[in-house]
């Protein structure tokens, strides 16, 4: 069956789009396909008539398997289903925002944990999670790790 809907998500800061194709079966949206496409970035000084500008440069973006693996495709599919089920409702928009935020950063080195501890001085783990769009239990685990790292570092510093 050909798709009746196409919901496109433009990934912020990247020249990628995720297209989710759907059709409605017995009042229920069903995903028939997901495509990840590269897009052409527009020029900041472009106009609606000529968004790319003649002097704009485009270099082809190659997608690696690792890049695709890190995309939350299931989250995009859930958001698209919610949008098609109720185009003017808030659930689809909320799910789309969550999907576009993506996963927390993978480079969780010492600086990440220190910054998290600093944030935790003025905010609760739940507040941090809500502001960043992260899972609250994950933030609590990170805070626990950060405190453990800090204690270990302080113990090593005291032995010398």
Question: Do residues 79 and 17 share a domain?
Answer: yes
Domain count across the chain: 2
Nearest to 120 by CA among 102, 145, 101, 98: 145
Please state the rounded mean pLDDT for residues 147-152: 88
> Residue 108 pLDDT more than 90?
no
Please classify residue 150 by burial: count the beta carbons closer than 10 Å to its beta carbon, then call 0-12 exposed, 13-18 middle and 19+ buried. middle
> Do residues 141 and 78 share a domain?
no
Helical axes 136-159 vs 110-122, angle rounded to 10°: 110
Let me know whether 119 and 50 are in one domain. no
Residues 115 and 80 both lie in one domain: no
| C-alpha gyration radius of the chain | 21
Tell me, what's the pLDDT at 42?
64
pLDDT value at residue 56: 56
* 38 lies in the same domain as 87: yes
Instruction: State how far the alpha carbon of 9 is from the alpha carbons of 77, 90, 110, 137, in Å.
Output: 10, 16, 33, 27
Question: Which domain-ending residue is among 52, 70, 101?
Answer: 101
Last residue of a domain, one of 101, 118, 137: 101
Whether 16 and 49 share a structural domain: yes
The reply to whether 23 and 61 lie within a common domain is yes
Provide the H-helix boundaries in the chain: 65-70, 73-85, 90-101, 110-122, 125-132, 136-159
pTM: 0.56
Band the pLDDT of 160: cuts 50, 70, 90. very low
- pLDDT one-digit tens code per residue, 30-86: 999 999 887 776 666 666 666 666 655 555 666 778 878 878 888 889 888 988 888
Q: Verify that 126 and 80 share a domain, yes or no.
A: no
Nearest to 79 by CA among 19, 13, 16, 2: 19
Question: Of 13-17, 68-72, 131-135, which range is least confident?
Answer: 13-17
Domain residues for 71? 5-101
Do 51 and 122 lie in a common domain? no
Q: Is 13 in the same domain as 91?
A: yes
Indicate whether 89 and 122 sit together in one domain.
Answer: no
């Amino acid at each position: 069956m050909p798709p009746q809907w196409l919901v496109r998500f433009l990934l912020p800061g990247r020249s990628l789009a995720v297209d989710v194709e759907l059709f409605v079966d017995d009042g229920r949206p069903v995903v028939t396909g997901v495509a990840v496409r590269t897009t052409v970035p527009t020029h900041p000084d472009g106009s609606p008539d000529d968004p790319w500008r003649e002097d704009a440069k485009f270099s082809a973006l190659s997608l690696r398997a690792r890049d695709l693996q890190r995309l939350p495709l299931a989250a995009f599919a859930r958001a698209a289903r919610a949008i098609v089920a109720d185009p003017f409702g808030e659930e689809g928009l909320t799910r789309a925002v969550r999907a576009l935020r993506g996963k927390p950063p993978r480079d969780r080195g010492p600086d990440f944990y220190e910054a998290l501890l600093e944030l935790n001085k003025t905010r609760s783990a739940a507040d941090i999670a809500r502001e960043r769009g992260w899972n609250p239990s994950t933030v609590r685990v990170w805070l626990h790790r950060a405190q453990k790292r800090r204690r270990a570092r302080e113990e090593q510093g005291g032995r010398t």
